């Protein structure tokens, strides 16, 4: 267990809390069986909100099988590890926050290639890569170029039956209102300009608060950076942020 926790980057300070609260054995066996059933599909188990340490234990238990599934498709070990290390950044007090998110990693559909994550999906029968942006490092244009260049050859090589010609991204980072606040040459606006926007999908106020400030909705927001000031001022003035969908060719 410790070795797996180290491998996915769970901080040593969190590992003790994880080990101190093992889940019920029967529930764990059942959850692992469901994850095994989802592996290789585009469906994921839905975790109840109060799942405690169960999701983390279940993911760590199934991890060697998922890695074997990756290896059988020739996915390089460093890509598998870069993908799975997001787990390590999402453990708080021995539990995984937003555990539903990791369904994509553990069913074998999401891969981190450099700065960006790519999730295999379909839209109206067309294979599409869904782009996600993990936190932790600046979103530099160079890093994005390199990820986007790597994506099509990676999936052509490891998933040859699926021909990905386009990628989609649904994120608050594509909300055009950000241009009212951020400099033209900010990484976020440069990222946004890569995409052809399609639709305003949904209100993103709570997600922005969670993703940027790591705070629950309604919390007092600090105003330390240009983005923090933009988000907080926009909301304080009664406005909303939106998740927007955009497309780009690969």
Ligand X SMILES: CC(C)(COP(=O)(O)OP(=O)(O)OC[C@H]1O[C@@H](n2cnc3c(N)ncnc32)[C@H](O)[C@@H]1OP(=O)(O)O)[C@@H](O)C(=O)NCCC(=O)NCCS
For residue 205, state whether it binds ligand X (rule: CB under 6 A). Answer: no
Min CB(86)–ligand X separation in Å: 11
For residue 188, state whether it binds ligand X (rule: CB under 6 A). Answer: yes
Q: 39 Cβ partners below 8 Å, 6+ apart? A: 62, 65, 66, 69, 106, 107, 108
| Closest CB to ligand X among residues 63, 244 | 244
Using DSSP, state whether 193 is helix, strand or coil: coil
For residue 225, state whether it binds ligand X (rule: CB under 6 A). Answer: yes
| Closest CB to ligand X among residues 7, 181 | 181
The closest of 223, 222, 177 to 197, measured between CA atoms, is 177
For residue 133, state whether it binds ligand X (rule: CB under 6 A). Answer: yes
Q: Which of 79, 182, 248, 250 binds ligand X (CB under 6 A)?
A: 182
For residues 182 and 194, the answer to whether their CB atoms sit within 8 Å is no
For residue 100, state whether it binds ligand X (rule: CB under 6 A). Answer: no
For residue 167, the 8-state DSSP code is E
Using DSSP, state whether 152 is helix, strand or coil: helix
In angstroms, the CA 120 to CA 75 distance is 14
| Closest CB to ligand X among residues 44, 53 | 44
Q: Which residues bind ligand X (CB under 6 A)?
A: 133, 135, 138-139, 171-173, 182, 186-188, 211-212, 225-228
């Amino acid at each position: 267990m410790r070795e797996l926790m180290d491998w996915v980057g769970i901080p040593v300070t969190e590992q003790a809390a994880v080990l101190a609260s093992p889940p019920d054995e029967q529930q764990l066996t059942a959850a692992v069986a469901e994850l095994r059933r989802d592996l290789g599909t585009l469906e994921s188990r839905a975790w109840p909100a109060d799942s405690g340490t169960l999701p983390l234990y279940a993911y760590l238990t199934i991890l060697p099988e998922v890695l074997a599934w990756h290896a059988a498709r020739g996915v390089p070990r460093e890509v598998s590890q870069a993908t799975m290390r997001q787990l390590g950044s999402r453990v708080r007090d021995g539990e995984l926050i937003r555990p539903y998110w990791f369904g994509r990693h553990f069913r074998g559909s999401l891969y981190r290639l450099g700065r960006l994550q790519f999730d295999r999906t379909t839209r109206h029968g067309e294979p599409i890569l869904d782009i996600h942006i993990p936190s932790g490092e600046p979103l530099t244009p160079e890093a994005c170029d390199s990820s986007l260049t790597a994506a099509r050859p990676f999936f052509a090589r490891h998933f040859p039956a699926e021909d990905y010609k386009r990628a989609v991204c649904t994120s608050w980072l594509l909300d055009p209102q950000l241009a009212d606040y951020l400099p033209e040459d900010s990484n976020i606006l440069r990222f946004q300009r890569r995409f052809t926007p399609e639709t305003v999908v949904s209100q993103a106020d709570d997600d922005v608060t969670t993703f940027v400030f790591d705070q629950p909705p309604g919390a007092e927001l600090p105003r330390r950076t240009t983005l923090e000031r933009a988000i907080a001022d926009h909301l304080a003035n009664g406005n909303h942020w939106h998740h927007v969908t955009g497309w780009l060719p690969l």
